[in-house]
Structure 1
């Protein structure tokens, strides 16, 4: 028989399921994991059962008792041999793990029934081998583990829940147009893999209506149909485990009132949907009526974009000139700023010199004032002195009288004392000479003093004018000094302003550079705008037609929503609550299903001190 290789997806599916099965039991001191390998005939009948058992613990197992109904028990990974006493199997293992196998005659919890048809007639794989036509394979799974449970004080027949995965592999060279009633189908061109998951017996346990059963997809039967060009027995493998995933979706907090409230919300949502569709209809009608105005505006926009583009072109052409002018302004302001600095320094030097000159002239002005006062005093003194000279001239007459008296005395002495008379006459002559010399000198002095008085008068008048002019000049000089200080302060402010102006001009240059670049980009953008508005103008008419269609469509939508509400949601709300009772059974039996799943933890037997798990792997013997 030719060997059929499983595709990667099929291997991954089975491997994932096996990993899931191996994680089904809780942590315990000693655990027992059974894998029941079943060889099936083509029709699903059991040919052989081999049970592989793994007992493990965190510590060495040592001496312990196991319970098992297997025959031909064999240690497959050690030399230890069991001591069997009925169903009790005693071991002494100096390791943490024990692996053994054995045969079983016990009935399987899942019964497999496989039927084959070719061209509408039931047949066997042996008779169908090598033939062509329309084929049909039906894999029917039945749960054999029935229990009687108490539900609300009443007895109810339920089944131990088993999650099963059926994998069927068909070679694509021999099978075509493959279809399935349930599950997943994957075709890689070489093989066609069918994976079918089911819970046999669950629908009987939960006792739900046909509608809910279909919704939950509680299918126990896999049907594969298609065409075969040369029938070959496909590879069929079935795995089963009582270990169920957590039923988190159906916990103790789940109530039918939740579903009833959901239906009520659904009804309200239908009302809101109808109102919303009405508003949508009104809004679309308004949009449709107003879009014509928009379309007219788009056409105006198209014309305006051309005008904008023309203006942008002019701006783009002018920006280089503006940029060049800004650079010239910046250059001139740089030179002005440099000259202004020199001017400010010159003003400071001028003000300094003026201050020094003003301080020096202050002394000159004081000297002029003093000279003017002296000239006035001299004039007064000379005038007074001229009067004294006249008195002195007048006093020379007294000397002349004395000389005359001496001559008179000398005359009287000529006879008696001629010598004394001669001396007296000599004295008289000397006095006359002195008097005359005094008169002559004083006359000259008087004449000189007159000239001096005249000169002193002129000097006093001149110094008076000079003093008056000096005072005026001194006052103006002071104003000049004050003006120089103001000029120095102003020149500094002017220098600062010129510097700021130069900095601003540099920023202006940078700005015009950016403006120039921006103008170029704006030119490109203007062209894009023109192109876009043209396209917008072209599409606006199409969009106007679309708004007309949208208004018509929203009207159809409103009619459809109205029909959905009246014929669908309202009916669902009315009938929905009556259907909720169909799933009451699921809520009632959930805990019992979980309990049955946990209780079925072995196939061949288990000691009460162990925690266990079991899985079944069934394969058709090709």
Structure 2
């Protein structure tokens, strides 16, 4: 990864190839610095080659403003990518964005040092800009006599660009042509609109539809000290010396369905850049737009809707079961009501049953001796069970001794040491990979200053701006959600409630910490991608040292991890057993407490046997009293029947409500998912697939890996 300084920018034109895995990540990348790939070295010959238009298309003027060059370089991180054909499209446009001419640079790699390279192109006025190799052409097919060399050539085209950039100018609220704006003073607004002209056919919800190819655009301009009170929509500006450098971002090409899907993910997708300021004697050197498609997006397999589909199926099934279950509850309540009535009718039989109970109690009294012996046996067994369970509980809750842990760890470590030694032996894949990686990346590791760069970013004004914007966005989300509650709770109007919720969220420490962590994470990711000035020398020694260090570390880590895992596994097993025997069940007891309670209960039962005999005699007397109280119990049963009837009525009402909930809420929600929401997600997936497939503007062979980027420069505006 390389950061361009001012001088390098003038010598090297870099391009961006967006690496976001989804639209939300692409937008985040625009805010934090777009990730890109590959470089194309500028040669004077490249840009002066051709005809008498050289003075108009001289690309050395693309970045002739130092401040703009520096700022765009700082906002675009570059990484390398291996391709067969590397294309840079230079577009020279009028101040309003209308295209004047297009110059395309192509670089054909020659890794195999082949004598000939075959290419496909629809460019005209083709000229070799880096060497003296010649070519033959048959239609769009050209064959270069490469002689083992890489080929860099240049051509022109008048075909339509995949993305149009329109610049509109306003003075004091009225649209004005750029020519008439030159030298004027007042409130000026400059708006850049981006339109994707590229579409592909993709299958969405089982049918073919035309899907626009999304692109990422980064535009920059330098504003002099005659620009005051500058405001930027979808971008930012920095003050450097007497100049104000503006950088704006947009993602053209996403249709309404995709934007709706992004909105569902709380992601705002910019489609234009707007700059406003108070200006004296207006002039503008130029605007420069870096434009890439999504060919570098790490997007494979699309958006997996399986979990959402399963969730809606489960929700539908649960709704049906809830409605059915409430119906069963209603039926059961009706049966209880009916049973309570029957109970009232049967209470008259209780009196005759009481006499039978007396006879039974007398028979029980004669058998109480056998009962006493049986309870004694049960009591002895329960005491033994409780003692065994308590012994087990003590054992599993006792930590292993250091000697036991050391023995377990030593045995596990000895088993992995030999495996690590064999894996790192010279000539193995592991040895070769680490050795070669150390040699190839030695210079990178020597100059890695990620932490310092990250801290510099975090300490910058940009961090504060991003943090405040992110905190404000989260506060607005919170306020939008909670304002209605405050209105109802405190009888407030919506704006007052919204402001109170919004200001309260801004002061929320947890929200602040979350936003700070998110923004710092983004800046740290930027810093992680930033490296410079790799040192040379000592590669072989470093390679071997790294292998030895890795082997030593791997042996130590594997041994330690194996030992720790073995000890942890034993402790975990004991803890699992302890948690299982100590876990409280639905009856309120665990195995341990239940065994103790059982022992205590059987002991109490055994001690209560003598009293039981006396109790049986009392039961006989009580049976006589039971008959006299049966009449009163009958009256209570009648009251119970009335209450059960009311429960049945309530259960019926509950069943009707749940059926309504299932039909009018759950099923409608599932229907909405299977309609608009699912369609939007599939459109988002189709757009991302379309973005990955656009990799050439001037043409290339089907079996060639290519990448393309666009640099669009508008003409300056100045008073004559």
Higher Cα Rg, which structure: 1
| Both structures adopt the same fold (TM-score exceeding 0.5) | no
- TM bracket, shorter-chain basis: 0.3 to 0.5
Structure with higher helix content? 1
